[in-house]
Amino acid sequence: QKDAQQAAIIQRMVRDLLDQLSAKDRQFVRLYFNRGLSPEAVASAMNISVKTVYSKKHKIQTRLEGIVAQQAA
């Protein structure tokens, strides 16, 4: 039961983090991280360049790390 409670807390934290992103960034997270699509497939699905996929990935990771650090402080 303790594991289930911890899992629920983590899910809520992740949901709260994602809520702080724009709709397009949430879509990117779903495609790239959740579904594990290749950068080329994400680019095609979102109608962006592969270069933009890589820059968006870096931007989102940096932003989420900042949010986590801020909440931990």
pLDDT tens readout for residues 7-27:
887 788 888 888 888 999 999
CA distance 57 to 59: 6
| Mean pLDDT calculated for residue range 25-50 | 96
Neighbours of 56 (CB within 10 A): 20
Compute the mean pLDDT over every residue in the chain, rounded to the nearest whole number.
Answer: 90
| pLDDT attached to residue 37 | 97
CB of 53 closer than 8 Å to CB of 39? yes
Distance CA 24, CA 14 (A): 17
| Residue whose tokens read 């409670």 | 5
Please, which contacts does 63-66 make with residues 24 or more away whose CB atoms are closer than 8 Å?
A: 63/21, 64/17
Q: What's the pLDDT score for residue 48? A: 97
